[in-house]
Amino acid sequence: MDTLLPVTGPLPDQTRLPLTTFYEAKYSLELLMRFADDTPKGRASGEWARTLAQRLPED
């Protein structure tokens, strides 16, 4: 059986932010809105959704 070797190497010095497309961000926003409710985690989800929505361009 073939197994893949683990990826090794130095970590980057600077923090890298993941690049997402507009459609990935919009889908993430939709998912966050589905979880938004009156529970503590739901309120956090709603807050993240509002923050993300403010950063997206209007379509």
Give pLDDT tens digits for 29-44.
999 999 999 999 999 9
Higher pLDDT, 42 or 4: 42
Q: In this predicted structure, what is the pLDDT of residue 7?
A: 63
Alpha-carbon dihedral 42, 48, 53, 56, rounded to 10 degrees: -150
Q: How far is CA 24 from CA 3, 4, 28, 29, in A?
A: 31, 29, 6, 9
Q: In this predicted structure, what is the pLDDT of residue 43?
A: 94
Q: Is the pLDDT of residue 27 over 80?
A: yes
Q: Give dist(CA 29, CA 27) in Å, integer.
A: 5
**Short-list 34, 24, 23, CA closest to 49:** 34
Q: Domains of the chain: which residue ranges?
A: 22-55
Q: In this predicted structure, what is the pLDDT of residue 56?
A: 83
